Structure formats: structure tokens, C-alpha cells
Amino acid sequence: MISGHGGNTSADPTADYWQGSPAMNTGAAALAQAMNVKGIVDSHHHVWRMADLPWLTGPMLPRIFGPYESIRRDYLADEYIRDATAAGVVAAVYVQPNWPLDRSLDEIRWIAEVHDQHGWPHAAVGSADMFDRGAAEVFRQQQQLSPLMRGARLQLHWHENEQYRFASQPDRMKDPVFQENLAVLDDLGWLFELQVFPQQMADAAKLVADFPGVTFVLVHAGMLESAEARHTGPWRAGLELLAAQPNVIAKLSGQGTFVHRVDPELISVVVTTAVELFGSERCMFGSNFPIESIWTDFDTLVTAWLRAIEPFTDRVRQDLMGATARRVYSLAS
């Protein structure tokens, strides 16, 4: 077995969540049980009402994840919970799916209502216009609206290929107002979900070093485009810079984004490299559903990740599939 855990010897924080019910003894859930993975935490998922997302209701445009007709619909909590729990997921973190920024408070009101109705999600990451000084007040109001709040995501990724861009410039993270708002996250005890490409990681490492009190969660493990050497070389070099900063966590999610399929080789490259560089206590699984549903089902996705971590020790597996996310997002144990 491969050891990648960085020395966390505390009691298993997910033990009370694993019930091993007969309903879960198929597919990914059965594999997780056989591998002694005691309750999976999904650190990155979305739910939505299509009407709230102009990027879904508007014209079809070329996007980073390819054609997306299949997700141009409501994706509500009952559907997510059904698919996730069948695959062995026992807790989940909602991450904002790009509501209009002027509706950032409406989004948190809605997700709080979803939680009140379903008991899911168990934590939430919202957003605000962090290039506006008004974001500080938005964050404070979000905190008042729901105890689920754990942090913010504002996508900073920029690529030479326009289809892969979200940010208007590669160095938006240097903006002084943006950095003022990062300091607000520090004051609130919130994390920031950092989404950048490898060519932005040198700047990102400097940013992270300047805010040692903020936990930065590297979304989609740094946006690796493929398992080819032309992509893995720059990606690994960037990860080494970020891994040197102790306040960075690698989120192992979204690995179908560029290849538009479940790719076992790519998943293996991502998980083995991330565990090598960050240690398993700084790595965590996320489904990125329903985006990944464009090319796969939930059970197949979770099974692929479980197969990829089979060579690791039980302790490392538990970190990757639950323990790290519980600690990072302060989930109940």
C-alpha cells in the first residue's frame, strides 16, 4: 500500500456516519465499504433552479465542459441526494454555480431553504463581486442568513483558449480590492475556493503566502487538461509551488472537465500527484455534479475515484473520501 498521510493520528471523524445499510450495498457504496471508506463526503456539488442561472437559460455557447444540453434543466436537492446517497455519500458541500453576483444573497437564502427542507447540503460556499468593496457587506449578510456558510468562490481561471476563460485577465488576483475582500474572509474565518490554471499558479502561490490566515481550496486540483506530458509538466510545477504553502488544500474534482469522460488514467495521475505533494490530509474528493453528469452517472464517477485510491492505505483513503473535507468545512462528526 502507498502511504501519503501527513501524520494525522486522531480518531476517525466519520465513524458515526457509516451505517452500512442494505440499500447502499451495491456499486460504489459496496466498494467503499469493502475498502473501509466509512462514509463519503462530497466536497463540491451544485444544485439549482434553471431560472436562476442566466448561463443556462441563455443561448448555448462554447464552454469549458463541452455541449451541455443535458443540464439545461432544474437539478434539485432530491435528485442529488438520491444519486449521491446511493453511491455512499453521507454529507456534501454546496458550491455556488454562478448565480448573477447581484443575487448572491438570494442564492444563500435559497440554499438555506433547501437545507431546512432536506437536511442537505451540510455546508455552503457562496460568492460575491470581490472586485467591489461592497462584497464585504454581502459576506456579512450571508453569514447572518445561514450557519451553513464556509467561504466564497470567485473563479479566477484564465487561459489562452477563450473557451476556457472565466476571468477577464490572468492576473485579476492582484487587484487591490479583491485582496481587501480576501482579508474580510480572514476576519470571518472563511475559506476561498481558488480556481486557476497552471500558468497562473506562480501568482496564486504569492497570493496564498500573503494571506496565511485564509485556507485556499484549489478547485479541480488545478485544472489539469489531460494526462499528456505537455499538460502534466506545467501542472505539477505549479502544484509544487502551491503545496509549499500550508494553507492550500487540493480539491480532487472536475477531472472530466476537459476530456468529457471518466478517464481512469487522468484520475490516477491527479490523485497520486496530489497525495505526493500535499499529503492526504490536504486532499479531498468532490463530484462536481451535475456538471459531470454530462458524460457519466454518479455511481460510475465515485467508483472510478475509489479504484484510483485502492493502492493507498486505509488512513489515506479515509482522508481523501471524507476526513479532510470534514475538517476543512467544519462538518459535524
pLDDT in tens, 255-270: 999 899 999 999 999 9
Let me know if residue 333 belongs to a domain. no
For residues 175 and 233, give the distance between their C-alpha atoms in angstroms, rounded to a whole number.
28
Q: What would the pLDDT profile of 70-104 be if each residue is shown by its tens digit?
A: 999 999 999 999 999 999 999 999 999 999 999 99
pLDDT digits (tens, 9 = 90+) for 95-121: 999 999 999 999 999 999 999 999 999
Specify the pTM.
0.90
Taking every pair of Cα atoms in the chain, the longest distance, rounded to a whole number of angstroms, is 54
Helices 201-210 and 229-243 cross at an angle (nearest 10°) of 10
Q: What is the pLDDT of residue 158?
A: 59
**51-57 average pLDDT score:** 96
Q: Are 285 and 43 spatial neighbours (Cβ–Cβ below 8 Å)? A: yes
Bridge-based pairing state of the strands 191-194 and 149-153: parallel
- Residue 122: Cβ-neighbour burial (10 angstroms; 0-12, 13-18, 19+): buried
Instruction: Count Cβ atoms below 10 Å from residue 296 Cβ, excluding itself.
Output: 18
pLDDT at 2 over 90: no
**How many domains does the chain contain in total?**
1
Domain that holds residue 90: 15-328
Region 238-259: mean pLDDT is 96
Within a domain: residue 8?
no
Across 320-328, average pLDDT: 98
Is the residue at 253 inside a domain? yes
Assess if residue 233 is contained within a domain: yes
Average pLDDT in the chain: 90
Q: Using CA atoms, how far apart are residues 328 and 251, in angstroms rounded to an integer?
A: 11
Residue 31 sits in a domain of what CATH number?
Answer: 3.20.20.140
pLDDT for 180-239, tens place per residue? 999 999 999 999 999 999 999 999 999 999 999 999 999 999 999 899 999 999 999 999
Residue carrying the nine cell digits 505533494: 277
Angle, helices 201-210/176-188, rounded to nearest 10 degrees: 50
Higher pLDDT, 2 or 121: 121
Q: List helix spans (H) across 156-228.
A: 176-188, 201-210
Q: Is residue 71 part of a domain?
A: yes
pLDDT at 92: 98
Residue at 208 is within a domain? yes
| Residue 10 within a domain | no
Query: Is 5 within a domain?
Result: no
pLDDT digits (tens, 9 = 90+) for 287-299: 999 999 999 999 9
Q: Are strands 248-252 and 89-95 parallel, antiparallel or unpaired?
A: unpaired
Q: Is the pLDDT of residue 10 over 70?
A: no
Percent of the chain's residues with pLDDT above 90: 82
pLDDT value, residue 8: 33
